[in-house]
Structure 1
Amino acid sequence: MACRGSGTWQLSMVEIMMTRKPLHVLPLPLNDGRATYLLGRSVRIYGQSIVYNFIICIFFGSLTEILKYKRDFPPVDYSLKVNSYTLLSESKTEKYDTNVFEAGGHKWRLSFYPNGDLKNNGNGYISLYLEIVETNTKALNWEVTANFKFLVYDQMEDNYLTIQVANGVVRRFHAMKKEWGIAQLLPLETFKNPSLGYLVNDSCVFGVDVGVVNCSGNWESISMTKQPKKGTYTWKIENFCSLNKPFCSEVFNVEGLNWKLFIYPKGDSSHYGVKDKSCSFYLELVDWGSRQMKKAVYAEYNLKVLHQVDDDQHVERKASHWFKDHSLNWGYASFMPLKNLRDESKGFIVKDTLFVQVVFLVISVADGFSSKNKDKIK
C-alpha cells in the first residue's frame, strides 16, 4: 500500500512539554525535500518540565498519514546494510528479503524493494515492508497487533530518518494479512541525492522498530559482488559417453560459499521431453543447511560447455537465481541437444572428454551479527 496521497502537505514545528499545558504549533513553509526532515536539537528544562523541539512532517489528504522525523539512536530490533545498492537495484531481483529476526516474541523479516514496489504504486520510491513469518506453530485464529517504525540512516548527520504511520496506529498481522509496510517510503530522487547522506559510497542502512522497545541488536549486512575473485570453475569430465546417471563435480568455493556443478549426460528425466534429447546442466549451492545463518544467496552466472577447438563456439547460457532452502540448484534442463554434444566432429567431446565451466558474474554475501556475540554469524 502507498501511504501517501495527493492532498495538502503541512510542515509544523511542535513543542511537546511534559506538563498539562497545551501544545504549541507553529506552521512553517515547505521549501524542499530536506526541510521535511529537519530536527531541532534543543532540549530545555523548566523545573521538572522538559521541552523537546523538533520538526515533524505529516502528509494530509490520504487514507493514512505518514510521520517523518529525525532521531539519534539506531533501530531497536533490526538493521539491514546494503553495501552495493547499485548492483542490487540493477539485478534481476524485484526485492530482497532479510534474514528472520525476533521481536516481541515473534519472528519477522523485512522486504526491501530497491526500485520500489511497482504493484503498489511504489514507482520512483524505496519500498519497505514488515512481514511476520514462521506462523505455522501459532493457534488457528492467531493474530498479532504491532506498530512499527522504519528508519533510514543519514550518514552525513549521523542520525536516522524515522518514518511511521502517524498517531501510533497499530497493524493487525494474521493469516490473511501477514505483511504491512510503506510503498512510498522515500523518493528515489531524495534517497540518491549525495548531499542528503542516505546513499554514500553506494552504501545505505535501513532498520525497523517493532512493538515494544527491546533492543535485540541483531542485524545483517548484504553485499553484491561483481565478477568475484576466483569466480570461474572448469570441470573436466572423462569417459563422458559412458556416463548414464547424473554426475556432480567436486565442491569448489566462491566468495566463502561452497558450490557443485551437476550434469545429466542423458537429460533430466524429471522434465518432460528432455530425456535422451538434451543435456541438463545445473549449479548447486551446498552446505546451506549447516550454516547457522540460513540466508538466501543471489547469483548471476554463465554456464558453458566448452568447444575444444574453437573458443568462439562455446555453448553458453546465462542464469540468475536466489539459492535458498527448497531451491538450492538452478540451471537448464535443456542446455543443448545431445546429438550436437555427442557428435565428436562438433568439437565438444574429444577423446571421450568434456569440459564444462561456470563463470560467476554477480554474487551476494550476507553476514549476520549480534550485540551479544560480536563475531559474525556464519
Structure 2
Amino acid sequence: MDLFNFITHSLNHGVSRSYSDSPPAHYIKKIKSFSVLKKHSAHGHQSTEFEAGGYKWKLALYPNGNKKKNVEDFISVYLEMDGVKLLQAGWEVYVDLRVFLLDQNKGSYLVLQDRNIKQKCFHGAMLDAGIDKLISLKEFTDASNGYLVNDDCVVGAEVFVCKEKRAAKAEFLSMSYYSFTYKHVWNVENFSKLDAILDSEPFTVGNKKWKIVLHPKGDSNGKALADPETLPPRSKTCVEFSLRIVYRMNRKTNHCQKATNQWFDASSPSWGWSHFIALDTFSKAGKGDFVKDTCLVEAEVTVHGNSQIV
C-alpha cells in the first residue's frame, strides 16, 4: 500500500496506525485456520478472560464484521468488561484500547487505535466498546501484508485504564411491551370475627413478591398491596393492579372492585384504598345474610417496567 492510499485509508475509517517490535502487554492470541473461524463466527468470537488496570476483560472478534452495525468487508473488534459486578455503581472507567496484528513477514506488530475516540468509556449501561472497522478483509487476507499467512494470524490487545470517576446520577428505565397479568385469589373465612390485619400468601409477579393486606375494620393509611423486601433501594416498579372483594349475600353474588397504576419503591412499598367498601355491608353477616361469613379477595397484578438509579 503506497503512502497516499495508507493515509486515505486511515482517515476514511477513523483508525490510526503505528508499529511496535514488542508484543502486546495484556493479551495475545494465535488463531489457526482463520477461514474456518470466519465461516462459523457470524455472531463473533469471544476471547478468554484477561486482566488489565485492575479490571477483567474479554476481546470480541467479528471476522465478518459486526452485522448489528451493518459492517461488511471489515473485521470488527470490541473490548468487553467482564465481572461487571466489580464495577462500583455510578462509576465510569476510561480505557485506551490498542489492537495488535502481527506482521509475520517482518516480525513486527501493526498497532490500531480509534482515531476519533481514543479513550473508551465503560459504565453500567455501556459494557463494551471497540472499533467497527478495524481493518478491511481485503488488506488483512493479502498474504503480502503478513497479517494472515497459511491461514494463521496473531491478534493482541493492550488495555490501559486512563481514569476512573463517579458519574452523575443516572436512571435506567425499562418498560415492557408484553406484560403478563397474574391473578391471585384469597379465600377469607369468618370475616365478621376478624379484628387483626391479615396478609395473604405471597405471590410472585415480575420477579418480585407481592401480597394482599386486608384491614377488616378499616385503615386510615390506605395501604393494601406490597412486599417491600423484594423492592431494591433506589429502584421503582411500575405496576397496574386491581383489587376486588367478592361475596354472596341473600343468594346473590356481589363484588366491589377498584384499579389503579402506581410506582412502587422501598419508601412507598404499598398502595390501596382506605374506603374500599362500607363495613355496614358486612355487618349483616350476623343476621345470616352474608353467606357462610366468607368472601374472596382477588388481586390482578401487571408489572409494566422498572427504573433503577445508579
Which TM-score applies when normalising by structure 2? 0.48
Which TM-score applies when normalising by structure 1? 0.40
Structure with the higher fraction of residues in helix conformation: 2
Q: With CA pairs under 8 Å and 6+ residues apart, which has the higher RCO, 1 or 2?
A: 2
- Tell me which structure has the larger Cα radius of gyration: 2
